Structures are given as C-alpha cells and as structure tokens.
A and B are shown apart, each in its own frame.
Chain A
Amino acid sequence: MYLSLRDRPAGPASSNPESGTRQPIVRVSSVVVSLGVVSLLTDISSESVAAILPLYVTAALGLSTIAYGFIDGLMQGATALVRIAGGWAADRGDHPKWVAFAGYGLSAATRAGLLVAGGFAAVTALVAVDRVGKGIRTAPRDAMIAASSDPRTLGRSFGVHRMLDTVGAATGPLLAFAVLWVIPDGYRTVFVMSCGCAVIGLAVLGLLVPDLRPRRAAWLAKHQSRDERGLPRCKGCTCTVPGLAPAGRPFSWRAIGTPSLRRLMVAAGVLGVLTVGDGFVYLALQDRSGFATQWFPLLYVGTNVAYMSLAIPFGRLADRFGRARVFLAGHVALLGAYVCAGTSGGWAGLTFAVLLLLGVFYASTDGVLSAIVGQIADLSARGTAIGTAQTVVALARMLASTGFGLLWYTVGRGNAMFVAAAVLAAAIMACWFLVRGLDVPADSAAPAKSLA
C-alpha cells in the first residue's frame, strides 16, 4: 500500500538538478497511508454524527440544543490537556500505536453507545467521551507519522495524512444527509453506519499498522554493535549477563523545553490567539451575503474541500521552501480571509474566495505544525511535544473566540474582522523573527539527524 509520488531531488541529489538522470521516487510510508485511512474512516464516523446531532436532538428527541454549544465549548478546553497526556503516554511507553488505539477505541465505543442512548444528557456525555478519545489519539498518531517518514519529506507525509483525514471529514456529513434523505428519521441508520466506519478504522489500525517503537529504533540505530547494545558477543551465547532492554533514552520533560521548541510554541500561541474561528468568519459572510446564508450549514464542507485538495501541495511546498515559512504564509491566507469576510458585499465569489483562503490556511498550518515539531523535537519526547503544540494552539484559539466575540459587538462585524486582520499582520511579522531560524536547509536535514 505505497503511494508513489514523484519528487524533485532532495538532499545531496539537488546539488545537480540539471543532470538529467532519473530522479528518485520518494514514497510516502505505508504506515502514513494506513494511518490516513484510519483517520478517514474515523472522521466519516464522527462528522456524520456531528452533522445530524442538532437535528436528532431537536427533531427526534424533541429537545432544545441551546445548552449543547456551551457544553461543547467546555469540553474542547478539557480535551486540550488530554492531548499532552496522550503524547506523554506514547513517549513514556514507546508504544504510540496502542495509545492511539485506546483513543480510537474510546471514540468507537461512543458510537455504539449512541445506538442505545436516549436522553440529552446521555448524548452530551457520549459527545464528551468522543472528544476525550480524539484528544488521546492525536499526538501519538502524529508521532507515528513523524517516526515512519523521511525527515526531508515530513511535510508531504503530514499532507497525505491530513488529505485523507479531511476527505473523511467532508464525506461524513454528506453521507449522513444522504441517509436521512433516503430514510427520513433514519438517525439510527446513520449511527449504525458511523459505528461500522469506526470499527473498520479501528481494525485497520490494529491489524495493518506496525507497533512502532521510535525510541528503541533510535537507540538501536545509535548503538550498532552487539557490544554497545549490551548483548552477548555471539548469537548463540547464553552464559553472559542478560541484555539490557534497548528502550532508548528515557522520556524527560526537559526535552520539550528546548529553545527552538519554546520559540515555536510562543509563535503558535501568538498566532493561535489571533485565529478567531471559522464560525465568526462564516457569520460575517452570512451577515452581508444572501448566498452565504443560503448555504451557511454547508460552508465548512467548502473549506474542507479546499483543505483536502491543498494538503499535499502545501506539505510539499513546506518541504521545499521551509516549513516555518509556509506555516507563516498560511496565516497570511487567514489574514486574507478576514479581509474578504470584512469587505463582503453580497458577492458569491467572495464567499468562495474566503473558503479557499481558509483551506489554504489549514493546509499550510495544521499538518505543517506537527511536521515542524516532529523535525525539531527530541525523539524521546516527540509525542509530548506534538501534543503540547496542539494544546497551545487549541487553548489559544479558545481565548481568541472569547476575545473576538467582545470585539464583534463593540466595533461591529466588519470592523472586528479588519482589526483582527491588522493585529494578525503585525503578529506574523513578529513571529517571522521567532521562527525563521527553525527552517534547516534540506541538505543538513539528513535522515540520520532525526535518529540522533
């Protein structure tokens, strides 16, 4: 299950790009593709339910959804911290696959729960548990992607994963609505379908993805001789001391406090505080444009389609031109989306432009951030570092929503967008000085470095 992608020569080969020799085909690891398929199935599962949940709660259960949004907001904050825990467990035990498996398993169990749950409280609790599962699995999964990829094409590996992931996120709601279209009130059929996708995803992870041991692999790569590994001198010997378990360097919190990681976290946090949430951007559009109102419940599908088609190209751009640079450029696209949403004058094309710009923003930031962390974090703490970066972003964005809401009412929707855009422009320039040193030229990022 290899996804072959032709690539421009990277590393030493690039010293002679005009040589005319056959360029090496760089493959994306089958592990990355398998993990992408797992995410695809899981996202179909979760997004199909998320899309119809408001309808289900109001139409089938006959309840109000007003409380739902509030609980959802609280849960997002709580699960942000679970992400660090998931990454830490993966680093500590050196079995990221089984930590991720636990997270995916928890979410799959909530799908089964939805089939028997009756009340609003039960449904809300299940949504909460699902979010905890998502929090647990994200960092170990990204650590596995980093561990199984060539460091030179890390951006592309994450791009492939995020593309598959987003295909699931975009198809889930459409599948769910298609089921409801054929079977009105077929909510339980959607839940059964969702549960089935989750189970298959879990099976793909359990059966196809190898139990990667990133720390052990690094230790073995560093200690090549039997002597260094503390093993008996000859293969048949049984008389000497028992061999040390080659578990690699133990996990240490100090490993996530390195200057380069700290600078990245600060930049991600500052930019996160200025990422006000798609909801606000869509609402600003909807305020002026009849087109956007009509399609409001589906605008996020448009963003997902743009993200899906751009994830791989922008991952490759990140590999070529520097990941931190592309990460910042993604925020310039976000700035563009704010300006478009602020100026919106009921023109349908502007809505498309905003969705495209948001797609560019996600394609050049979400997977790319994990790729940067995967590249600069010490191997023994990669999962924790990725989890921490995602937590920083998630908490910063929560803060952003609250703060921006206030601005929204004080200066009006359009002006609020312009203010956010102006501050973001300043922040992007400031962050440039913070992160520009993080892009290492492709030549020096030889495979051996990540194993050191």
Chain B
Amino acid sequence: MRRPAPRVLALILVVVVVVAGAVAYGVSAFRTQRAQVASSTHVAQSDLAAVEGHNRIVFRSTAPGDQYGLVAMVLLDDPAGPRAFTAVACDRVDAVPGAESCLRTVRGIATRFEAQLLDASWQPAQTWPLPGVPSRTRLSADGSLLATTSFVTGHSYATTGFSTQTVVHRADGTTTGDLEKFALTVDGQPLTGSDRNLWGVTFVDDTTFYATAASAAAGKTWLVRGSLTDQTLVSLRENVECPSLSPDGTRIAFKKDVGTGGAKLWSVAVLDLATGAEVVAGEKRSVDDQIEWLDTSTLLYGMPRETEAGVTDVWSVAAQAGATPAIFIPQAWSPSVVRN
C-alpha cells in the first residue's frame, strides 16, 4: 500500500485533533449543564394557592437549576420572600388579573418563537407565531389586548432595516396588524421613511396606547401616542424609549440615553404628561427593559448580573431625580405587578 502524502497525514491529524477537542468540549458542556439542571433550584418556595388571588408580582425566575426560566410569583408585600412556580416557561411575561401574556422560545432543530395569551389557570387561549427573538410584551388592563414586540431575525434581514416587529393582538384571536403600517406623524409632518421601527407598547385603554417610534436615518426615537381605531401614531416627544404608563395614567416611565461622548447609556426617567417635566433617576448602568410601575412612586426593571451569565435581578428605583436603585427580587426578570 502506498503511503499517503505527508500533507494528507497532516490534514488527518488536524481533523482528528479538532474533532476530538470539539467533542470533548461539547460532552463536558453537556455534563455541566445536566448537573446544573439536575440540581434543584435553591430558592424558598411556596404554593401557587398561597399567592394567587392576592396582590402579587409575576415574573420569570432566573434562579439556576431545574426551574430556570419558569414563570413564578411572589406576594407584593414580600417580594424577596418565597416564590410560587408555575409550569409555564416564558422569555417575557406580563400579567393582569385573569390573563397572562407569554413570549417564548420553542427550542428544536428548527428553533421558533411564539406569543401566547394564557388564561387564569395558565392554559393557552391563543397562540401567535413570532418572526424572531422576543423583546417586549404588555397586556391592556382588562386583558383584551396584547402587544408583542419581537426582533425580526434570520439571515440577511438586517440589511433591509427591519429589526423589530410590533403587533397588537385581540384576545379573540384577531389582530390589528403590524404597527409599522399605521400612519406616523412626527411634529405635524407625515413620516414615511423605510427604516422606521416601532416597539414597546403600553396601553392607556382599549383604543389608545403609547409606544416608541424610531428612524435610523434620522437617528431619532420618539414617544408616540397611537390609536387602534384610526390606525395612527402621533409623536409627542423626542428621545424616549420603551414607555410605560403609570397606574394613575399621569406619568410615563421610559429609558433615556444619558451617555456622553457617543457611548449610549440608557438610564431610567419619568415624564409628567401634564407638565412635561422630566426627572432622571440615579441608575448608572445601561438598562434594557420596559419599566414596570410597582406603585405610583416606584419603578421596577430587570438587569443581567455581570458575573453570572443568564442570571438577572429585578431592581427598584424611586421615580425621583438621582434616586438610588436597589435589588427588589433577586434572580428574576420581566416583573409584572398584579392587583386584584
């Protein structure tokens, strides 16, 4: 038998070393992950019955272990106390009495994403497919409307300038369509740019809502007030991202870029709708979440832990200039305050 050429032997060597290395890494990662999943979640737990029916905070639990990613809830009076787990896994969750919205990743060879409207017993009432990674969701106060924002992901879509899709669905399964199709008016002028984006809906009532509109070409974002019946969006103010209406409907909490020298730093701010007065809280880290109102004076939002990948905490900060944030619910994400 002829000896193979040295370069062929060298190639075989490279292939064997690389494949062995990658397989070894994969197996060890698999074992580590299995060990992590097998270990039970180390958090104090309570029964669903003990929390449901009371004023509560519904959220996604990010405590490592077999219950990672499941929706859980705690009593409003004892946010850091024992949590009651549901069997539902969501990337983003919002809840009102009797209904929940859940954006989730359906893993598989073909990973897909979907939005679900869940009933009081956490069973799906409606399911809608999403075109990409979930981003934001909000329900209207009576649970009749559900807004979803997802990224539009996949191959080479990025160049088309469409990076998010925001849709308002009705509880009966119908939809009002993509908000990008609504007529957008900025400072009295219609804006028809190809690169506009909409995200982060917050409902006022069953026809009116606030959201963020952006144009990459103009390099601006606007707070817009939208009407589902007229299919219109009207800009109110520049430089507002991800609005969230206060429970009394008088103020809007949002993310505001306070970075200097070109670097973006999204801090937490509150706008008084009647006076136009704006205060920026003392959050020094960049926030990427749609803020939730704990009460009329306190804001909640999620922050990833820098040291632990995949673990996040829910923080709270007073709606005042320079207020200092503090951890509110450890190992949690996507908080939603439910008052019965």
B211 to chain A, nearest CB (A): 14
Asked if residues B18 and A200 are in contact (CB atoms below 8 Å), the reply is yes
Asked if residues A207 and B26 are in contact (CB atoms below 8 Å), the reply is no
Report if B189 contacts A (CB, 8 A).
Answer: no
In the complex formed, the residue of B with least CB distance to A410 is B192
Q: How distant is the Cα of A173 from the Cα of B8 in the complex, in angstroms?
A: 29
Categorize the interface residue count of chain A: 35 or more
Q: Mark B13-39, 1 if CB is under 8 A from A, else 0.
A: 011001101100110011001000000
Q: How distant is the Cα of A178 from the Cα of B22 in the complex, in angstroms?
A: 15
Asked if residues B107 and A402 are in contact (CB atoms below 8 Å), the reply is no
Asked if residues A69 and B288 are in contact (CB atoms below 8 Å), the reply is no
- Other-chain residue from B10, B160, B197, B309 in contact with A277 (beta carbon distance below 8 A): B160
Report if A389 contacts B (CB, 8 A).
Answer: no
Report if A423 contacts B (CB, 8 A).
Answer: no
Q: How distant is the Cα of A178 from the Cα of B30 in the complex, in angstroms?
A: 13
Q: Mark A199-235, 1 if CB is under 8 A from B, else 0.
A: 1100110011000000000000000000000000000
Asked if residues A182 and B30 are in contact (CB atoms below 8 Å), the reply is yes
Asked if residues B22 and A62 are in contact (CB atoms below 8 Å), the reply is no
Asked if residues B22 and A181 are in contact (CB atoms below 8 Å), the reply is no
Q: Which one, B147-155, B227-235, B268-276, is touching chain A? A: B147-155
In the complex formed, the residue of B with least CB distance to A296 is B131
Asked if residues B159 and A73 are in contact (CB atoms below 8 Å), the reply is yes
Report if B44 contacts A (CB, 8 A).
Answer: no
User: Total contacts A to B, CB within 8 angstroms?
Assistant: 186
Asked if residues B33 and A186 are in contact (CB atoms below 8 Å), the reply is yes
User: In B25-76, which residues have CB < 8 Å from any A CB?
Assistant: 25-26, 29-30, 33
| Residue of B33, B105, B131, B288 ringed by the most chain A CB atoms within 10 A | B131
Report if B132 contacts A (CB, 8 A).
Answer: yes
Q: Determine the chain B residues whose CB is within 8 A of the CB of A286 once the complex forms.
A: 131
Q: How distant is the Cα of A398 from the Cα of B161 in the complex, in angstroms?
A: 11
Report if B312 contacts A (CB, 8 A).
Answer: yes
In the complex formed, the residue of A with least CB distance to B194 is A405
Report if A25 contacts B (CB, 8 A).
Answer: no
Asked if residues B111 and A50 are in contact (CB atoms below 8 Å), the reply is no
Q: How distant is the Cα of A182 from the Cα of B158 in the complex, in angstroms?
A: 28
Report if B2 contacts A (CB, 8 A).
Answer: no
Q: Which one, A9-17, A53-61, A312-320, A345-353, is touching chain B? A: A53-61
Q: Which one, A249-257, A297-305, A327-335, A336-344, is touching chain B? A: A297-305
Q: How distant is the Cα of A59 from the Cα of B22 in the complex, in angstroms?
A: 23
With contacts A70-B216, A182-B30, A296-B154 taken as known, whether A408 is within 8 angstroms of B109 at the C-beta atoms is: no
Asked if residues A293 and B129 are in contact (CB atoms below 8 Å), the reply is yes
- Other-chain residue from B25, B159, B197 in contact with A76 (beta carbon distance below 8 A): B159
Secondary structure type dominating chain A contacts: helix
Q: Determine the chain A residues whose CB is within 8 A of the CB of B14 once the complex forms.
A: 199-200, 203, 207
B129 to chain A, nearest CB (A): 4
Report if B110 contacts A (CB, 8 A).
Answer: yes
Q: Determine the chain B residues whose CB is within 8 A of the CB of A280 once the complex forms.
A: 160
Asked if residues A196 and B19 are in contact (CB atoms below 8 Å), the reply is yes
User: In B289-328, which residues have CB < 8 Å from any A CB?
Assistant: 304, 309-310, 312
Q: Determine the chain B residues whose CB is within 8 A of the CB of A180 once the complex forms.
A: 107, 111
Q: How distant is the Cα of A76 from the Cα of B155 in the complex, in angstroms?
A: 13
Q: Determine the chain B residues whose CB is within 8 A of the CB of A287 once the complex forms.
A: 178
Report if A429 contacts B (CB, 8 A).
Answer: no
Report if A3 contacts B (CB, 8 A).
Answer: no
Q: Determine the chain A residues whose CB is within 8 A of the CB of B192 once the complex forms.
A: 406, 409-410
Report if B112 contacts A (CB, 8 A).
Answer: yes
User: In B181-200, which residues have CB < 8 Å from any A CB?
Assistant: 192-195, 197
A120 to chain B, nearest CB (A): 10
Asked if residues A54 and B151 are in contact (CB atoms below 8 Å), the reply is yes
Q: Which one, A137-145, A187-195, A259-267, is touching chain B? A: A187-195
Q: Determine the chain A residues whose CB is within 8 A of the CB of B19 once the complex forms.
A: 196, 200
Q: Mark A399-428, 1 if CB is under 8 A from B, else 0.
A: 001101110111000000000000000000
With contacts A54-B133, A55-B133, A63-B288 taken as known, whether A184 is within 8 angstroms of B109 at the C-beta atoms is: no
Asked if residues A279 and B160 are in contact (CB atoms below 8 Å), the reply is yes
Report if A174 contacts B (CB, 8 A).
Answer: yes
Report if B7 contacts A (CB, 8 A).
Answer: yes
Q: How distant is the Cα of A315 from the Cα of B29 in the complex, in angstroms?
A: 43
- Other-chain residue from B109, B158, B159, B304 in contact with A174 (beta carbon distance below 8 A): B109
Q: Determine the chain A residues whose CB is within 8 A of the CB of B122 once the complex forms.
A: none
- Other-chain residue from A58, A181, A193, A283 in contact with B151 (beta carbon distance below 8 A): A58
Q: Mark A418-443, 1 if CB is under 8 A from B, else 0.
A: 00000000000000000000000000
In the complex formed, the residue of B with least CB distance to A192 is B25
With contacts A174-B109, A177-B110, A280-B160 taken as known, whether A296 is within 8 angstroms of B155 at the C-beta atoms is: no
- Other-chain residue from B21, B151, B154 in contact with A196 (beta carbon distance below 8 A): B21
Q: Determine the chain B residues whose CB is within 8 A of the CB of A54 once the complex forms.
A: 132-133, 151, 153
B170 to chain A, nearest CB (A): 16
- Other-chain residue from A63, A186, A192 in contact with B22 (beta carbon distance below 8 A): A192
Q: Mark B95-106, 1 if CB is under 8 A from A, else 0.
A: 000000000010
With contacts A181-B111, A294-B129 taken as known, whether A401 is within 8 angstroms of B310 at the C-beta atoms is: no
Report if A290 contacts B (CB, 8 A).
Answer: yes
Q: How distant is the Cα of A277 from the Cα of B192 in the complex, in angstroms?
A: 20
Asked if residues B154 and A299 are in contact (CB atoms below 8 Å), the reply is yes
Q: Determine the chain B residues whose CB is within 8 A of the CB of A199 once the complex forms.
A: 14, 18
Q: Determine the chain B residues whose CB is within 8 A of the CB of A61 once the complex forms.
A: 304
Q: Determine the chain B residues whose CB is within 8 A of the CB of A195 once the complex forms.
A: 22
Asked if residues A193 and B157 are in contact (CB atoms below 8 Å), the reply is no
User: In B133-168, which residues have CB < 8 Å from any A CB?
Assistant: 133, 135, 151-164
Q: Determine the chain A residues whose CB is within 8 A of the CB of B1 once the complex forms.
A: none
B31 to chain A, nearest CB (A): 10
> Hey, which bits of chain B sit against chain A, CB under 8 A?
7-8, 10-11, 14-15, 18-19, 21-22, 25-26, 29-30, 33, 91, 105, 107-113, 129, 131-133, 135, 151-164, 178, 192-195, 197, 214, 216, 288, 304, 309-310, 312
- Residue contacts A-B, CB under 8 angstroms, 21 given: A60-B310, A63-B288, A64-B288, A66-B151, A68-B163, A70-B216, A72-B159, A73-B158, A174-B109, A183-B29, A185-B309, A189-B30, A192-B26, A199-B18, A279-B157, A290-B129, A295-B110, A296-B129, A297-B153, A406-B192, A406-B194
Known: A54-B133, A186-B29, A279-B159. 4 other contacts (CB 8 A): A69-B163, A70-B163, A184-B107, A299-B154
> Hey, which bits of chain A sit against chain B, CB under 8 A?
47, 50-51, 54-55, 58-66, 68-70, 72-73, 76, 173-174, 177-186, 188-189, 192-193, 195-196, 199-200, 203-204, 207-208, 277-280, 282-283, 286-287, 290, 293-301, 398, 401-402, 404-406, 408-410
